[in-house]
Chains A and B, each alone.
Chain A
């Protein structure tokens, strides 16, 4: 019963369609949103259990054997990503129940969220490059609409930058897909991985590899291609920024990981890994320096997304088994911590009425417990033990040192310090110092909320904080899983066999 693996795609689609039937009935939409994300989470756990027990699963849609049909395939990497997505989906559902205003809800906020999830899951599960393009577009068009929903001037401006650059990268992606098809005569990832060593035109192959790198580089915001991200991610409401920050860039990183380990291997295109290496160093440094200069909480966090992407790309570029496992752990850790920080920024906005660090203050005095909740992901992101970020950073850097990348590993350490510095900046300005507007200004928008809504906003923060702490404390079993995923990824024979070899 491999049909199970299309459910992470099908379920959100079904939910979105049903929601459209209830377009005037907001309570029904809310309930359905929560229900479908919880279901999604259970299904993804089920799938991961299957993959853990029986290896890579694949489904040939319509019974057409690969490489002729449309393929869905789940290996351990995809399974981990789908579980992380579903978990973030559940928390975002909770958070948006607490924080999204009714007007946005009326303009199809929940169906759009579901379609976004469908696109993300589709991108993780597909085994075919052209389908990857289609899922990217599904994901992007929903994210475009979510970004502008509300129509405030800065949202529209941010969206223009976001939309233009993403459309440009889609056009490049399409061109790369076309050239690759012209060369290899197939777009099935497993089939490509098997055939690529035997085709001629090595120079053209390099062009294709670079085109793919540019595309995914734009999506995942690596060094020279990240400028759209800090210009747009801080403009929508916190629930939307959080899911963007947590998941959308990671889809790009996932694609880079998949492409440049399974399809374009290290022997195939060694120069790509050089490019990745230097791009990762520059991504880390520019991102964190950009973050330090900011005084808007959400913009500071947006720059941090960029900086953290650098670590993951660094791991992919080194490509030792340890590095890939560490990179995968880093992705999961970052999805959790980053989403959490954006939720918290949303709550800060409610509590303090502003995101400008110069204007706000005194949150610790007013809300000590909430301040502790901020510290968990903040220190986790900066890499303080025993939180998950410590292990993630430690392993990435260790993998770097083992393969002789001393310079970039050193840079990574330094960037960790600067990350800590910028988190302390938020702490000092927003939480520790006295409120420059005098006391009693704090929390007007927050007090206006009902009790249930407050719980809905705090609960996801607690949940994600717990994951950050627990995955740091019980690190060993999590990492064993990541190591298995990495060894699967670096020896793609099993993947190829599962997809092409009668795995219907």
Chain B
């Protein structure tokens, strides 16, 4: 199972990096989403995959009974997924708005920040 997940993480990373290197904004978004998933799955995998009981202390016991599943990586991933969704939603809206304003989705054509500004202030 660990090997399978490790391979999956590798494939997600490779796909994500390939996609963010493309010129199309849509592909960049997909790439970022894949990278987020890759990182989450990786935390899940390195947090050790054990088939264990929930991490509850039994009544009368003073500690956790082995084997238990470590809840912390799952808590971390839960937080990371929520943050990831929020940020990705923002990115999608931003990219859509950029496409509407500039009329292009080719990242290589976005060079206006390198040019000298015309007059006017804000």
Contact = CB atoms under 8 A, between A and B. Distances in A.
Chains A and B belong together in one complex = yes
B94 A156 contact: yes
Interface of A: 101, 130, 133-134, 137, 140-141, 144-145, 148, 150-154, 156-161, 163-164, 167-168, 170-172, 174-175, 177-179, 181-183, 231-232, 234-235, 237, 295-296, 349-350, 353-356, 358-359, 445
A174 B48 CA distance: 16
Contact of A156 (B101, B111, B120, B121): B101
Contacts of B102: 153, 156-157
Nearest to A130: B76
Contacts of B116: 295-296, 356, 358
Contacts of A170: 87
Interface string B35-65: 1101110110011100000000000000000
Nearest to B44: A178
B10 to A, nearest CB: 12
Nearest to A232: B113
14 contacts: A101-B122, A130-B79, A134-B83, A153-B102, A159-B94, A160-B94, A160-B110, A164-B28, A167-B91, A168-B35, A174-B80, A178-B47, A350-B121, A358-B116
A441 B10 CA distance: 60
Interface of B: 16, 20, 25, 28, 32, 35-36, 38-40, 42-43, 46-48, 72-73, 76, 79-80, 83, 86-87, 90-91, 94-95, 97-98, 101-102, 107, 110-114, 116-122
Nearest to B72: A181
Contacts of A237: 122
B121 A231 contact: no
Nearest to A174: B39
B36 to A, nearest CB: 6
A151 B90 contact: no
Contacts, number: 130
A171 B122 contact: no
Given A134-B79, A172-B39, A296-B117, 15 more contacts: A133-B80, A134-B83, A140-B87, A144-B90, A148-B97, A157-B113, A159-B98, A171-B36, A171-B38, A177-B76, A181-B46, A234-B113, A237-B122, A354-B120, A358-B116
A446 B115 CA distance: 25
B39 A178 contact: yes
A167 B94 CA distance: 13
Given A150-B122, A178-B47, A350-B121, A163 B113 contact: no
Contact of A160 (B43, B98, B118, B122): B98
Contact of B113 (A144, A154, A171): A154
A167 B117 contact: no
Nearest to B9: A175
A179 B41 CA distance: 11
A334 to B, nearest CB: 24
Nearest to B41: A178
A141 B94 contact: no
Nearest to A101: B122
Contacts of B20: 164, 168
A346 B118 CA distance: 15
Contacts of A158: 113
Contact of B43 (A159, A174, A349): A174
Contacts of B90: 141, 144-145, 163
A234 to B, nearest CB: 8
A353 B36 contact: no
B112 A154 contact: yes
Contacts of A181: 43, 46-47, 72-73, 76
Contact of A178 (B73, B111, B118): B73
Contact of B119 (A141, A164, A353): A353
A160 B48 CA distance: 36
Nearest to B99: A156
B117 A171 contact: no
A359 B117 CA distance: 10
Contacts of B114: 231
B113 A354 contact: no
A167 B119 contact: no
A358 B118 CA distance: 11
A156 B90 CA distance: 13
Contact of B95 (A160, A182, A235, A359): A160
A234 B119 CA distance: 15
Contact of A153 (B42, B107, B112): B112
Which 4 interchain pairs have the tightest Cβ spacing?
A: A182-B46, A178-B43, A174-B39, A171-B35
Contact of A174 (B16, B28, B40): B40
B35 A160 contact: no
Contacts of A182: 43, 46-48
A178 B77 CA distance: 9
Contacts of A141: 86-87, 90
B122 to A, nearest CB: 5
A154 B117 CA distance: 9
B2 to A, nearest CB: 11
Contacts of B95: 160
Q: Which of A164, A178, A445 has the most CB of B within 10 A?
A: A178
Contact of B117 (A156, A164, A356): A356
Contact of A168 (B32, B107, B112, B119): B32
A354 B76 contact: no
A127 B111 CA distance: 41
A177 B107 CA distance: 31
